[in-house]
Structure 1
Amino acid sequence: MLNLGTFQTLNVARQTDHGYYLQNTSHKGDDEVLLPTSLADRELQKGENVRVFLYKDGEERLTATMQQPKITRDSIAFLRVKEVNKIGAFLDWGLDKDLFVPHSEQLDSMNENQSYLVWMYLDEKTDRLVASEKLDHFLDNSEITVEEHEEVNLWIRKKTDLGYKVVINEKYDGLIYHNEFYRDVHYGDKTTGYIKQIRSDNKIDVTLRPIGYDKVEPNAQHILDRLQQVGGYLDLHDKSDPDEIQNRLEMSKKTFKKAIGRLYKKEIIRIEDDGIYLQD
């Protein structure tokens, strides 16, 4: 089948003045789709298989392109608004034709040149690809397949009184509490996190660091990298002010002490009253 909003590998059936007509050889009943010459990144040969993205052009015709969209169907991206008019907003998603966001799918009125987290879906009434800022309509925590301590992909959503709402693996709604942040994050960031807790009501708590003792290793490496950057000495130690450690290393004092303890046991550093030193 030829599915709007997806990448598909199709076969070059024939070439015309307008471009290449492609077909899905595994579904003989499918119609052909045109890959315009202007949207092909190289010259193609009859019988060649080519990976293309399917969308509708400005005249609502099914079209193939070798351009790389910034979002695919049923997924999320952080996209910039190119234009706003009386019917909605139009986003830059990497293709010649902009991606439409109706006013009804905006949380607040979108502004030109600002970027927003959106979900792209196929509007069954119009058979068009459309974006929505209302992510909650597409997330479902009723059947959770991730497990506690599992590494996951995150999109950072809006800030709340408790912390930041996040999208987990583009499937679930989650929350990172304020006390779990050891570095700055911003709306629209894509990052890695870890499932801290799945509650009885299927709400998911997330953290940005690996759970338990495993988190010492990357923090130890972070301290080692900093020591190497500054000539082998840091004026921080187990009696340093927690806020100073947090500001300079983006980690808690407890994590700092565990990390330098690990480096000390490996004889990578020595710990003195005035700070920590790389071993000669």
Structure 2
Amino acid sequence: MTASLIVSRRTAYGYFLDDAGDGILLHQNEAVGTLEVGDQVTVFLYLDAEDRLTATMHMPIVGYGEYGWLEVVAVSPRLGVFVHNGISKDLLVFVDDLPQRQEEWPRVGDHLLVTMKRDKNGRLIAKPATEEVMREISVPADKSMLNKWVEGTVYKVIGAGALLFTDEEHILFVHRDEMTEHLRLGQTVRCRVSFVREDGRLNGSMRGRKEQQYGEDADSLLRYLASRGGAMPYTDDTPADIIKQKFGISKAAFKRAMGKLLKERLVEQREGWTYLKREAAALHAEKDGLES
């Protein structure tokens, strides 16, 4: 809470503020400028690490009933994560308010949308924004957002994917199949808007449009073939798990890219192998500045 109190006495390490009791410590590091006995100061009051009421003249970035993006400054596997709120005492986001899988927890430097509250013992904590809050602060998107690239921060991770709050204040959902990496809470990523829903929410992908992705995947296959002397033991019939392990793409994406190369007569397939055609090998070598 915020209070306006009178400086009642000075000590070697700070000031005591009159609270009609023993006084509240305002440590030297928590004061702004030099104070004198009798000065009236506005302070924020909170419980310190030893559960003693203490004061600071520095005001929190996010107050009670307010929501804001705070930076993660520490991670405790047992307790949760700590966010900085502008005062010396960082706020804990309890483990119960974080994803079950720790690899989906925020990392130091990530940002969480939270509000400041007190726990049952009166200590300051941070609570992430609820879905109701996100609905209230978000703005519906219109159809002009389709295929635009946007940046957003993950505010919720669920089984099917992740929910982001974009810089334009839209809510965007990324399915796990549309991720190029596993996302975590508090992570900021760039996504392409793939669908605008009737309610103004967005679906997005971390991948480019399919025709662009076909080209990128096809180039990757060409580079791999060239690195192996123009032949590889992988075709449309190769199991999906092997394709994923070797190339990091789905079986469907592999087949689309391979189809593009076959259609352009850059490769051919025989007896379970894919071969780079001679003219394609020369073209690829010229493009990359290599000797064929």
TM-score bracket relative to the smaller structure: 0.5 to 0.7
Name the amino acid aligned to 1:253.
Answer: K
Query: How far apart, CA to CA, are the structure 1 residues paired with 2:174 and 2:82?
Result: 28
Q: Is 1:252 aligned to residue 247 of structure 2?
A: no
SS of equivalent residue, structure 1 residue 144:
coil
- Cα distance in 1 for partners of 2:92, 2:82 equals 8
The Cα of 1:200 is off from its aligned counterpart by 0.9
**Counterpart position of 1:61:** 57
Contact 2:218-2:260 at 8 Å conserved across structures: yes
Equivalent residue in structure 2 for 1:107, among 68, 78, 97 = 97
In the other structure, the counterpart of 2:235 is 237
Query: For the residues of structure 1 that align with 2:99 and 2:216, how far apart are their CA atoms?
Result: 41
In the alignment, the residues of structure 2 paired with residue 214 and residue 135 of structure 1 have an alpha-carbon distance, to the nearest angstrom, of 36
Report the AA paired with residue 74 of structure 2: R
1:225–1:132 CA distance, 2 compared to 1 (3 A) = farther
Equivalent residues in 2 for 1:71-150, closer than 5 Å: 74-75=68-69, 80-81=74-75, 91=82, 93=84, 97-101=88-92, 107=97, 115-116=105-106, 118-119=112-113, 131-134=126-129, 136=131, 137-138=133-134, 140-144=137-141, 147-150=145-148
Residue 167 (str. 1) matches residue 164 (str. 2): yes
Q: Distance in 2 between matches of 1:225 and 1:263?
A: 12
| Deviations 1:98-131, CA, capped at 9 Å, x for gaps | 532477x973699xxx9446225689xxxxx985
Residues 165, 176 of structure 1: 8 Å contact kept: yes
| SS of equivalent residue, structure 1 residue 192 | strand
Tell me the secondary structure at the aligned position of residue 56 of structure 2: coil
Partner amino acid, structure 2, of 1:206: G
| CA distance in 2: counterparts of 1:177 and 1:164, whole angstroms | 4
Unmatched tracts of structure 1, length 5 or more = 1-32, 36-57, 64-72, 124-128
2:274 matched to which residue of 1?
Answer: 275
TM-score (norm 1): 0.52
Partner of 2:285: none
My pick for the range that moved more, 225-234 or 240-249, is 225-234
Aligned counterparts of 1:142 and 1:172: Cα–Cα separation in 2: 5
Match of 1:185 in 2: 182
Bigger Cα Rg: 2
Residue 218 of structure 2 corresponds to which residue in structure 1? 220
After superposition, the CA RMSD in angstroms is 4.8
Distance, in Å, in 2 between the alignment partners of 1:132 and 1:91 is 11
Runs (5+) with no aligned partner, structure 2: 1-30, 34-53, 60-66, 118-123, 282-291
Moved more, 190-199 or 231-240: 231-240
Q: TM-score, normalised by structure 2?
A: 0.50
3-state SS in 2 of match to 1:256 = helix
> What residue identity is the alignment partner of 2:204?
V
Q: How many residues align?
A: 205
User: How far apart are 1:211 and its partner, in Å?
Assistant: 2.4
User: Which secondary structure does the structure 2 equivalent of 1:196 belong to?
Assistant: strand
